Amino acid sequence: MDASPSKAKKNNAAFDHRKSFKEGQKNLTPPVADATRAFSESLLEENPDSQMAIRFCVEYGVKPLEEHKKLLKKYNHLKEKGAFSISAKIKRALDKKSKMGGVKKDKKEKKEKKEKA
């Protein structure tokens, strides 16, 4: 019953599911009966551009390989744009707010000029 460490590693390596991961997959694929998986798949069917559904399906490897490759392209494009980065979203919101603030001031100035004239 002496099991050498190298033999144990070889046996464990045979059961390592990470070897069967698809490109971009980070987590084990949930079972078909999983509620989150069902929600994400139905959301993706209803809205193919849903960032949340695309992210879940790619990171969990839910879809078959052909669909996974298509979703991976969308996922990488969204990732490059910063769609999954909180800091990028905050920066965009602050930029938008500063632009909107400037527009409101311009409108107020125009109104004041019209009232004076």
pLDDT tens-digit map of 27-83? 898 999 999 999 999 999 999 999 999 999 999 999 999 999 999 999 999 999 888
The single-letter DSSP state of residue 27 is S
Task: Please report the pLDDT score of residue 117 as a whole number.
Answer: 64
Residue 3 pLDDT > 70: no
Q: What is the dihedral of CA 34, 37, 42, 47, to 10 degrees?
A: 160
Which of the four pLDDT bands, split at 50, 70 and 90, describes residue 6? low
**Residues 58, 61, 65, 66, CA torsion sign:** negative
The amino acid present at 45, given as its one-letter code, is E
Whether 61 contacts 68, CB under 8 Å: yes
The amino acid present at 52, given as its one-letter code, is M
Residue 76 neighbours by CB distance under 10 Å: 13
